[in-house]
Amino acid sequence: MVDAQAGSSDRIAFGTARARWVLAATALGSGMAFLDGTVVNVALPAMGEDLNAEVSGLQWIVNGYMLMLASLILLSGSLGDRLGRRRLFVVGVVWFAVASAVCAVAPNLEVMIAGRILQGIGGALLTPGSLAILQTSFQPSDRGKAVGAWSGLTSVAAAIGPFVGGALVDSGSWRMIFLLNLPLAAATVLVTLRHIPETRDEQATGKLDLTGAALATVGLAGLTFGLISAGDRGFGDSTVIAALAIGVVALAVFVEVERRSSHPMLPPGIFANVRFTGANLVTVVVYGALGTATFLVVVYLQTVLGYDALTAGAALLPMTLLMLFLSGYAGSLSERIGARIPMTVGPLFMAGGFLLMRQIEPGVGYFTVILPSVVVLGIGLVCTVAPLTATVLNSVEDHHAGIASGVNNAVARSAQLMAVAAIPLAAGITGDSYRDPAAFQDSFMTAMVISAVLAVAGAVLAYLTLADRGSRRTTPEAATTHRHCALESPPLSNSPSTSKRG
């Protein structure tokens, strides 16, 4: 095992037995997180009923995980560079598995939320590690192949997730979706320890930005708690006011700390590039809209239309398939004509998909109403995601690609976090209203309008900020790397696969 940055002679050649083991370990670890995110959404109605959870409880089941992921994912990349990428990956996998066990045996909602928060920490530790291992273990000429193979393997989790989750919920108990992670984690750790070399960046200097990470966590947690609690308590409640104030102040201090830090977790200077800033603004509104859909649509299909968990999850599969098979073409097109047009048209299609979802009501046919809305939304994602990937990476120098990827990843997750907290409240989905089909149907329609408005805002932002000015080309493996980092927990299926090119 190599206890330093691997030299060229230690790099792994693609196609060898050792390479297959490395791909197996990294794909298993990442796939475990991808699969978990998908099946949790499918299981939300069953979990809500068993745990007697109101809407705020379901929001925390989703957001407890997302909060820690958004707050810590930037820090964990630097931590792996210093302590060892394999070591941090193994710690993350084990942590994720233990947290999954906590979720599986949770006797009440409070323990479930605690388990999901712990899962988020584990996810933040293992997520950057899998791609960093590929980047540092394979020969430079084989990295694109390795990341492409990893991409294909992890895409399987996106495709089978709704079926696995739905089948487990319908045939047994939602608790099985968490127990499923235990054998996957054990296999991942075994293969990793036996076949993956340790690497670290011996030249990494400076202190870890623990202050920045803490402030980001407190800020996002304060805003999330305040917005979710406002659904039950109202904005005039002193606890809600205090939580929102703490969140705003903590994030304001975070910005100032990052501006003054010599080794910031979130380098402010990277936002000096107009295209990079524009792409991240588009990410905020587009992923905010997607965060709402991720949270609501599968629940709506089960609560209002009476779908079982398996059917509800499978209903959204066409969108994943569109992302899987067409995003490569969208990436190639954006390289030829620039990102501005696709990233303007894509969110408009997404808005159309959200508006079509307003036609989903009891008695409608899947092929006449639901499928068209899913397909239109999927086309919008295809047009948006790959050009967004390329824009983020092309806006910075190659040596900043990792930072740019991580920043956009954190932005996407934070946007989803805030959307799941705020948009149901704005739409009137509070208390146990999701259990009342009539009340939930009216609020769902409002939520889809809000999502459509956000998507249109994304189109406007893209048109105004992404005027093509001869952007650099990015490497296929870099684009694929960012794409999976940014989309581990995305659109309705939580992990659709996109292009193998940026």
Provide the pLDDT confidence category of residue 158 given band limits of 50, 70 and 90: low
Task: Output the pLDDT for position 57.
Answer: 94
175 closest CA partner among 282, 50, 86 = 50
Provide the pLDDT confidence category of residue 329 given band limits of 50, 70 and 90: confident
The 8-class DSSP code of residue 435 comes to: G
274 pLDDT exceeds 80? yes
Provide the pLDDT confidence category of residue 203 given band limits of 50, 70 and 90: low
**Any idea of the CA torsion for 341, 347, 349, 352, to the nearest 10 degrees?**
-150
12 by DSSP, 3-state: which? strand
* Single-letter amino acid code for the residue at 63: N
Task: Output the pLDDT for position 375.
Answer: 96
Provide the pLDDT confidence category of residue 338 given band limits of 50, 70 and 90: confident
Direct distance between the N- and C-terminal alpha carbons of the chain, in angstroms, rounded to an integer: 33
Query: 153-157, 160-164, 414-418 — which one is most confidently predicted on average?
Result: 414-418
pLDDT tens column, 14-33: 878 888 999 899 888 888 88
By mean pLDDT, which of 260-269, 333-342, 388-397 is the weakest? 388-397
Residues 6+ apart with CB under 8 A from 165: 38, 39, 40, 41, 42, 43, 177, 309, 313
Task: Output the pLDDT for position 470.
Answer: 46
264 pLDDT exceeds 80? yes
**How many angstroms separate the CA atoms of 304 and 32, rounded?**
30
Provide the pLDDT confidence category of residue 477 given band limits of 50, 70 and 90: very low
What value does the mean pLDDT take over residues 380-398?
82
Query: 33-47, 69-83, 95-109, 483-497 — which one is most confidently predicted on average?
Result: 95-109
Task: Output the pLDDT for position 473.
Answer: 46
Q: Render the burial of 246-279: b for 16+ CB within 10 Å, e for the rest.
A: bbeebbeebeebbeebeebbbbeebeeeebbebb
What sign has the CA pseudo-torsion 307, 421, 456, 347?
negative
Average confidence score pLDDT of the chain: 84
In 3-state terms the chain splits into helix, strand, coil percentages (rounded to 5) of 80, 0, 20
pLDDT tens column, 416-433: 999 999 999 999 998 888
* Cβ(261)–Cβ(212) below 8 Å: yes
pLDDT tens column, 167-177: 888 887 899 99
Q: Provide the total of helices (H) and of strands (E) in the chain, helices listed first.
A: 17, 0
Tokens of 53: 């959870």
CB atoms within 10 A of CB 50: 16
443 pLDDT exceeds 90? yes
What value does the mean pLDDT take over residues 239-264?
92
pLDDT tens column, 463-475: 999 876 544 444 4
pTM: 0.85
436 by DSSP, 3-state: which? coil
Provide the pLDDT confidence category of residue 9 given band limits of 50, 70 and 90: low
**Residue 194 burial class via C-beta count within 10 angstroms: exposed 0-12, middle 13-18, buried 19 and up:** exposed
* Cβ(324)–Cβ(159) below 8 Å: yes
Higher per-residue pLDDT: 104 or 321: 104
Q: Which helix (H) or strand (E) holds 243?
A: helix 238-260
**How many angstroms separate the CA atoms of 43 and 185, rounded?**
21
What value does the mean pLDDT take over residues 290-299?
88
Higher per-residue pLDDT: 391 or 102: 102
Tokens of 404: 């740019």
What value does the mean pLDDT take over residues 354-365?
94
Task: Output the pLDDT for position 499.
Answer: 35
**How many angstroms separate the CA atoms of 72 and 81, rounded?**
15
CB atoms within 10 A of CB 8: 7
> ∠ CA(171), CA(33), CA(316), 5° rounding?
60
Return the percentage of the chain with pLDDT > 70, whole number. Answer: 88
Higher per-residue pLDDT: 487 or 151: 151
Higher per-residue pLDDT: 83 or 204: 83
Task: Output the pLDDT for position 409.
Answer: 82
CB atoms within 10 A of CB 191: 18
Torsions phi, psi of 182, nearest 5? -65, -50
Q: Which helix (H) or strand (E) holds 307?
A: none
**How many angstroms separate the CA atoms of 2 and 36, rounded?**
32
**How many angstroms separate the CA atoms of 256 and 391, rounded?**
27
By mean pLDDT, which of 3-7, 37-41, 206-210, 307-311 is the weakest? 3-7
By mean pLDDT, which of 92-96, 143-147, 219-223, 238-242 is the weakest? 143-147
Task: Output the pLDDT for position 35.
Answer: 77
**How many angstroms separate the CA atoms of 351 and 383, rounded?**
13
**How many angstroms separate the CA atoms of 225 and 217, rounded?**
12
The position carrying tokens 């790959």 is: 386
64 pLDDT exceeds 80? yes
